[in-house]
Amino acid sequence: MANVRLDKIKPLVALAAFLFAWWAIPTTVKSYLKAGFTEFQSPAWVATSYLDDLEGFWARRSHSKVELIEAGREVARAKSHYQFRAQRTQSLEQEISRLETILHLPSRREFRYEVARVVRRDLNYWWQHIIIRKGKDYNIPKGAAVVFAGGVVGRVIEVNAFTSRVELVTSPNFRMAANFEGDGRPVIYQGVAQSGFGNPIGSVRDAPKDSHASTLTPLKLVSTHLGGTFPAGLVIGQVSWLEPGITGIFQAGSVELDSRLLSLHEVAVLIPLHPINLPSDDL
Amino acid sequence: MNQYDVHRGENPRIIFFFWIVILASITLVLGLAWRQLIANQKYEAIEKRQTERRILKPGPRGDIYDRKGNLLVGNRPHYSAVVYLDDLRREFRSEYSKIIRAERERIRKAYDLRPKNERAGVAPPAPNYNELQWVARKNVIEIYIDKINVITGREDTITTRAIIRHFNEQLLLPLVLVEDLTADQYARLIEQVPVQSPIKIHTDTARYYPYGAAAAHTLGYVQKVNPDPSEIIDDGLKTFTFKTKQGKTGIERSFDEHLSGTTGHEIWRVDPLGFQDALLYQEAPKQGENFISSIDIDLQIAAETALGNRTGTAIALDVKTGEVLAIASHPGYDLNDLSPYIPRKVFDKINEQGAWMNRSLQLSYPPGSTFKLLSAIAGLRKGTINTKTQHNCQGVFPLGNRIFSCHARNGHGLVDLATAIEGSCNIFFYAEGLRIGIDELSAEAQRFGLNERTGIEVPYETGRLVVPTKDWKREIIGEGWMLGDTANTAIGQGFLLVTPLQMANLIASIARGETRTQPTLRALSAEEAKRVDHGGEPIGLTPRQHVELWEGMERVVSNSGTGRLVQIDGLRIAGKTGTADFRAHGKEVNLAWFLGLAPVEDPQIAIAVMVEGTSSSDSYHGGSTAGPVAKDIFLEFIEHYPERAGLAFKY
C-alpha cells in the first residue's frame, strides 16, 4: 500500500525538485538557458515563416494571368507614385539640410532602414510581442524603433542570432515620447491592456490643457525626435477625446491605433547611424 | 449522565466557580460590545491614525491674461525624475547586507593585524549600523541618478542629508532625483527608462511667461512654500505635503488667493514601517481662477521696446477708467529665469543691476518741470495767474543772494502761461510760485494725491513721497522754510519726491478735469467701467482757465514746443516735458520726464515716461529722451484703438 502511494507522488516530487532547482540556480544561468532555448527554437520559427511565405507564393500562382497582369499594373502605378514621392522627399531633405547649415541647427538623427518579415506573434506575452526574421546577422540593435506603413510598430527588446523580439506599441510596457501633429510640446504615449476585440488602443497623458480633441476633429499623435529612438512625425494613432488628468492641469485620453497592427507581415527596423545610450536592463 | 452531574446544584464550590465563569463571560461580552458598538469610533480613529497617511497636492495656479485675452502668465510642465523609496526597499536591504559584510571583514582584518596582547580580552569593534544603513541607501539612490545622468547627459548628485530629511519628513512623497528636466531630457527618459523601473517621471507645473521680461515687475513671480497649515484637515492623520506656489510680487502676490488652486489630497494605507500599502481615497486638485489684467500686451511691448536698455519707466493709463494699459520698468528681468526657482546666479545678477525695483511705484523722484502743470493750476485757481499774466525771462532770476536760472540761457523773453508751459520757462514759474506761496502749492499737490500711495493692486508701493510744507521742513530737515525752497518747488525740484505712477495719475486726472485717478490692474467690464469712481473732485478751473492751460500743454507738442518730437500726424497730443536733477547711484544724474494725453478732443490715454540717467555723462532731456518713448506708445495705441484715438477712418 505504501509503495503504491509513493509511486503516485513521484511525478510531483520530481516537479517540486525541478521547481526548487530552477528557483535556486542563479539568474545569469536562467537568462543563459532562456536565450539558449530561444536560439534553439528560432530555426523552427524561421522555417515555419519561410513555409508561410512559400504558401503565399503558391497561392498567388493560382491566380489567373489576367488577375496577375492587373495586379502588375496596379503595382506599376503605385511604384511610379512612390518614385515621385521619393524624389520629392529627397529634394525636401536637401532643402532641410541647406536650412540646417544656414541656421546652424544640429542635424537630425539619421537612420538606416532594415526591412524584416514578421515570423510570429508571441502568445507568451499576451500577443504583445512579435518575432521578426532578422537579428544580430543584420546588426539589429536593442532598443531600435520598429515601424510599418501605418506608423509606429514598437521597439526591439531582444536580439537573437537570426531573430529579434519587438515589443508592440499596444503593450502596457511600451512607452514613448510623442506630440500632437503641429504642436511641439511633448506628451507621453503608453500602451494599455487590450480587450482582445476591436481595434488596438493606447493611452496618452500629460497633454496640455489647451489641446482639444473630438470625434469630428481628432488629434493625430505622432512621434517626436526628442527621445532619440524615433524620428519625428511617425504616426502613432488618433486621439478623439481628452479629459483632465489627476494633476488638475494636464489631460489624458485614449489613442486609437492602426488596426493593421493586428496582422503585421512586414516591418522596418530603424537603425540609428550614430548609436545612443540605450537603457540597461536593470534601470 | 456525566459523573460530575451528581454534584450539580449541590456542591457550593462548583456553584461558586460556575458564577465566576458566568460573570467573567458577561464581563467579556459586555467589554467586547462596548468596544465594538459604543467605543468603536474611538478605536477606529486610533487605527486610522496608525495606518493611514494623507498626501496634499496643491492645485495649479490660474492663468493671467491681458485685456485682449493674450496669455501673459501660464503653467508649463515641470518634469522631474523621482523615485518612491518603497520601491527600493529590497535593493536597500541587499546593499546594506553587502556593506555590512564588507565592513565586518574590514574590521576583522584590522583586528587580526593588531598584536595578540592588545587583542586579549578585547572583542572586535562593532560596525556603525546606523551610518552604514544611510550609506547603503545613498549608494542605491546614486546608482539610479548615475543612470539618469547617462541618459540625460547631466551631472546631478544627491546628499546624504537630503536623503535623511526625505526619509524622516516626506517618506510617502517621491524623492526627487533630478529636477527641471528639459523637454528632450524628459523625452529621452520616457523612452529609455522601462515602465517597470522604480524611476518615475513626475510632471508638475511651473510658471511660464510667454512674453519673458514684459511687465515683469507688475506680473510678479511665485515661490515654492509649504502649504498654509489651515488647509490641512486637523483630524490627527499624519499629513505629507507637496510644496505649493505662492505669489511673491506683483499681480501674483496681490491676487494670490484668486489665482491659487484648490488643494487635492490622497489617503494612503501604510505598512508598519510607514511605506505606502494601498491608495484608499483620492481627490484631484483643481486649477485656480484665471485673472484678466488691464494690460494691453501690444502697448506693453511698445513701451518696453521704446525704453530699450535705458533705466526708467513708462506707464499708460486709460483716462476714463484708470486701467493700466502698460507699465514698464527698466532694468527688468526675464520672469522665465525665476521659474521654477531663482538660481543664485540670476538673483545676484538682477540685484547687481538694481532690477528688482519697480521704478514706476517703488522709487520716488523729483518730477521736474512736469510739476509746472500743478503750479499753473494752483496759480489759476488762486487767481495769481490769468490771461494777462506775463513775465520777462532773461535766463536768470535773482532771489535774495541766490541766482536761479532758466534752462534757456538767453531767456524766453516775454512769456504768458501758455508760452511758459510750451517752453517750460523756469523764470515764469519761479515768479508765480512765489506769488502762489508754498502753502497753496503744497495744498494743490496734496489735492491731486501726490502725498499718498495710489493704491494700485501691486505690493510694495513706496511711502517715501514728499510734498514739502513749512512744517515738514522744520520737522524733517530741522530748518525754516526759505523763499528759494518755494521757487524750487514751483518747478518740481527741491524736496519734492513722487513716483512715476503718481505722475501718470496726475496727467490722467487733468485729462478728465478731476483731481484723482484710481489706477487698477484689473480689466473692468463695460458695466464696471461705467461705475468707476476715482474719488476726487473737479479741478475747479473756469472754461477760460482750462483753455489757457490746455493751450500751453498742446503747444508743448508743437513745432516750437519742448515735446515736438512726440508729434503724430492727425493726433492732437497735449503734454509736458521735464528734466530734473537727481542724485542717484552716488552721483548727480538727469531725469527725463514726459507726461502726455491724447486725443485732446476727448482724452483716452494718458502716458507718463521717466528715464533715469545712470552716469553723469548721460545728457537726458524730457523732450528728446522721454518724449519719443511716449510717441511709440501713442502710435501703438492708434494702431490698436483707432476709433478711440479718433483716427478710425485714417488707419
The CATH number of the domain holding residue B223 is: 3.90.1310.10
Quick check: B60 and A247 CB within 8 A? yes
Q: Kindly tell me if the per-residue pLDDT of B459 is higher than 60.
A: yes
What b/e string do you get for B523-561 counting C-beta neighbours within 10 Å, with b at 16 or more?
bbeeeeeeebebebeebebeeebeebbbbbbbbbbeeeb
Same domain, B202 and B215: no
Q: Which of B161, B191, B206 is the last residue of a domain?
A: B206
Quick check: A246 and B60 CB within 8 A? no
* Measured distance CA(B465)–CA(B160) in Å, rounded: 51
**Which tens digits make up the pLDDT trace of B598-651?**
999 999 999 999 999 877 666 788 888 999 999 999 999 999 999 988 876 544
Region B260-278: what's the mean pLDDT? Answer: 82
Region B392-402: what's the mean pLDDT? Answer: 89
Q: Kindly tell me if the per-residue pLDDT of B73 is higher than 50.
A: yes
Quick check: A226 and B184 CB within 8 A? yes
Report yes or no: A106 at the B interface, CB cutoff 8 Å. no
Report yes or no: A238 at the B interface, CB cutoff 8 Å. no
pLDDT for residue B41: 86
* Measured distance CA(A125)–CA(B122) in Å, rounded: 60
* Residue B317 binned pLDDT confidence (cut-offs 50, 70, 90): very high
Higher-pLDDT residue of A255 and A209 is: A255
* Residue A125 binned pLDDT confidence (cut-offs 50, 70, 90): confident
**Which tens digits make up the pLDDT trace of B494-541?**
999 999 999 999 999 999 999 999 999 999 999 999 999 999 899 999
Q: Kindly tell me if the per-residue pLDDT of B326 is higher than 80.
A: yes
Same domain, B474 and B530: yes
Residues in CB range of A163: below 8 A, 6 or more apart: A38, A42, A45, A46, A119, A131, A132, A133, A134, A135
pLDDT for residue A2: 52
Higher-pLDDT residue of B61 and B277 is: B61
Region B388-414: what's the mean pLDDT? Answer: 89
Same domain, B543 and B559: yes
**B352: in domain:** no
- Strand-pairing partners, residue B498, are B365
Q: Which of A96-105, A223-232, B6-15, B107-116 has the lowest average pLDDT?
A: B6-15
**B460: in domain:** yes
Task: With residue B548 as reference, give the H or E element that holds it.
Answer: helix B543-556
* Measured distance CA(B104)–CA(A236) in Å, rounded: 55
**A270 to chain B: which residues are within 8 Å by CB?**
none
- B359's torsion region: left (phi>0), alpha (psi -120 to 50) or beta? alpha
* Measured distance CA(B187)–CA(B38) in Å, rounded: 56
Residues in CB range of B450: below 8 A, 6 or more apart: B374, B465, B467, B498, B502, B506
* Measured distance CA(B474)–CA(B438) in Å, rounded: 14
Q: Which of A139-148, B148-157, B220-229, B375-384 has the lowest average pLDDT?
A: B220-229
**A246 to chain B: which residues are within 8 Å by CB?**
264, 282, 284
What beta strand segments (E) does B137-295 contain?
175-181, 199-208, 222-225, 238-241, 244-247, 264-270, 276-283, 291-292
Considering CB atoms only, which of A174, A246, A248 is closest to B287? A248
Quick check: A188 and B191 CB within 8 A? no
Higher-pLDDT residue of A165 and A61 is: A165
Quick check: A248 and B60 CB within 8 A? yes
Q: Within the 107-146 window of chain A, which residues sit less than 8 Å (CB to CB) from chain B?
A: 143
State the greatest distance between any 2 C-alpha atoms of chain A, in Å, as a whole number. Answer: 92
Same domain, B108 and B242: no
**B345: in domain:** no
| B354: three-class secondary structure by DSSP | coil
Same domain, B236 and B314: no
**B181: in domain:** yes
Quick check: B201 and A188 CB within 8 A? yes
**Which tens digits make up the pLDDT trace of A153-202?**
999 999 999 999 999 999 999 999 999 999 988 999 999 988 767 889 99
| B597: three-class secondary structure by DSSP | strand
- Residue A130, all three cell numbers: 512579435
Quick check: B147 and A249 CB within 8 A? no
- Residue A18, all three cell numbers: 525541478
Reference B608, options B297, B371, B313, B368; nearest CA is B313
pLDDT for residue B172: 80
Backbone phi, psi, residue B596, to 5°? -150, 160
How big is the A-B interface in CB pairs under 8 Å? 90
Backbone phi, psi, residue B154, to 5°? -95, 180
As a residue count, chain B comes to 651
Report yes or no: A175 at the B interface, CB cutoff 8 Å. yes
| B342: three-class secondary structure by DSSP | coil
Number of domains in chain B: 3
Q: Exposed (0-12), middle (13-18) or buried (19+): which is B134, by Cβ within 10 Å?
A: middle
Region B350-361: what's the mean pLDDT? Answer: 94
Quick check: B190 and A227 CB within 8 A? yes
Backbone phi, psi, residue B220, to 5°? 80, 175
Output the domain CATH number for residue B581: 3.40.710.10
Which chain B residue lies closest to A155 (C-alpha atoms)?
A: B191
Domain that holds residue B221: 49-70+210-292
Give the distance from residue A257's alpha carbon to the nearest chain B alpha carbon, in angstroms. 19
Query: What percent of chain B has a predicted confidence (pLDDT) above 70?
Result: 96
CB-based contacts of B101-104 (< 8 A; 24+ apart in sequence) = B103/B127, B103/B132
Quick check: B187 and A224 CB within 8 A? yes
- Strand-pairing partners, residue B79, are B181, B203
Q: Kindly tell me if the per-residue pLDDT of B251 is higher than 50.
A: yes
pLDDT for residue B474: 95
Same domain, B53 and B169: no
* Measured distance CA(B595)–CA(B369) in Å, rounded: 10
- Residue B39, all three cell numbers: 467605543
Quick check: B195 and A244 CB within 8 A? no
Whether A180 and A239 have beta carbons less than 8 Å apart is answered as yes
- This model's pTM is above 0.90: no
As a residue count, chain A comes to 283
**Which tens digits make up the pLDDT trace of B195-238?**
889 998 888 889 999 999 999 999 999 998 887 767 667 777 88
pLDDT for residue B7: 61
Same domain, B286 and B302: no
pLDDT for residue A257: 95
Q: Kindly tell me if the per-residue pLDDT of A120 is higher than 60.
A: yes
Mean pLDDT of chain B: 90
What beta strand segments (E) does B517-622 contain?
574-584, 587-598, 605-612
* Residue B5 binned pLDDT confidence (cut-offs 50, 70, 90): low
Angle between helices B372-382 and B500-512 (to 10 degrees): 40
Whether B56 and B239 have beta carbons less than 8 Å apart is answered as yes
Distance of CA A209 to the CA centre of its chain: 29
**B40: in domain:** no
**Which tens digits make up the pLDDT trace of B124-171?**
888 899 999 999 999 999 999 999 999 999 999 999 999 999 988 888
Q: Kindly tell me if the per-residue pLDDT of A135 is higher than 60.
A: yes
Distance of CA A260 to the CA centre of its chain: 12
Q: Does domain A111-274 have CATH number 3.40.50.300?
A: no
Q: Which of B206, B231, B248 is the last residue of a domain?
A: B206
pLDDT for residue B428: 94
Report yes or no: A177 at the B interface, CB cutoff 8 Å. yes
Residues in CB range of A168: below 8 A, 6 or more apart: A128, A129, A130, A153, A154, A174, A191, A261
Domain spans of chain A?
Answer: 13-61, 63-107, 111-274
Amino acid at A16: A
| B217: three-class secondary structure by DSSP | helix
Report yes or no: B477 at the A interface, CB cutoff 8 Å. no
Considering CB atoms only, which of A244, A250, A278 is closest to B192? A278
Q: Kindly tell me if the per-residue pLDDT of A211 is higher than 80.
A: yes
Quick check: B195 and A279 CB within 8 A? no
Instruction: Using the structure block, give the residue that is written with the C-alpha cell 513745432.
Output: B559
pLDDT for residue B651: 44
Q: Which of B262, B292, B322 is the last residue of a domain?
A: B292
* Residue B119 binned pLDDT confidence (cut-offs 50, 70, 90): confident
Reference A159, options A37, A39, A280; nearest CA is A39
pLDDT for residue B4: 62
Reference B191, options A112, A223, A253, A116; nearest CA is A223
* Residue B9 binned pLDDT confidence (cut-offs 50, 70, 90): low
For A50, A166, B631, the CA distances from A261, given in Å and listed in that order, are: 21, 12, 63
Same domain, B452 and B559: yes
